[in-house]
Amino acid sequence: MDLEAEYNNRAAVPDHTAFMGRWKATAEAFRAERPPVALAYGAGAREVMDLWEVGPDAPIAVFIHGGYWQALDKSWFSGIAPALLAQGVSVAIPSYDLCPDVRLGRIVGQMRAVTDLLRARMGARPLVFGHSAGGHVAACMLSEGRASAAVALSGVFDLEPLIPTSLNTALGLDALTAAALSPIHWPAPNGGAPGGTVLDC
């Protein structure tokens, strides 16, 4: 198996720049229409989330963006918020530090801070969902009990295959860290089989 080709998403989608351009345009249009509250969850420049609150008793959903832990930020993904807000669900979209400036464990720790802050603020665990790298971190949050449920879209749950690829130049994974940070090896949520609490697409 050619792992480099299997994990090179942009090469697999030749018109990915057009898709990403639509993400950005949709996000910018919604942010102009309904600017979010910027809520810091740490002291770093990227340790900020965009927050749209429906009301004090509304459930909260956290979207963790993708980019193989080394690209993009919250501003690309505001366009996912309107559909949830229309259903009475508050939405938070955090940025996080990127590899190679930090290691992957640091990003997982930052999302722990996000979920813990929102639980304290809202009085309940958030639903967490994410795409690609965000799907990986969403699964981590569910396994640790920091999320009430999770949706992981194209998540990377086993990191070991990334070690020989060019993606690992920024990630700096070795066998030990890859195993430790792979949620496929972590305990199932609620002490048993995931059941209805997690959806992987």
* Sequential pLDDT tens for the chain (201 residues): 888 878 877 666 777 777 778 989 999 999 999 999 999 999 999 999 999 999 988 999 999 999 999 999 999 999 999 999 999 999 999 999 999 999 999 999 999 999 999 999 999 999 999 999 999 999 999 999 999 999 999 999 999 999 999 999 999 999 999 999 999 999 887 665 444 344 444
Query: Residue 175 sits in which domain range?
Result: 3-200
Residue 18 pLDDT: 76
- CATH number of the domain where residue 83 is located: 3.40.50.1820
How far, in Å, are 143, 157, 180, 188 from residue 185 at the CA level? 10, 9, 8, 9
Count of structural domains within the chain? 1
Q: Whose structure tokens read 């930020």?
A: 73
pTM score, whole prediction: 0.91
Rg (CA), the chain: 16
93 near 77, Cβ under 8 Å? yes
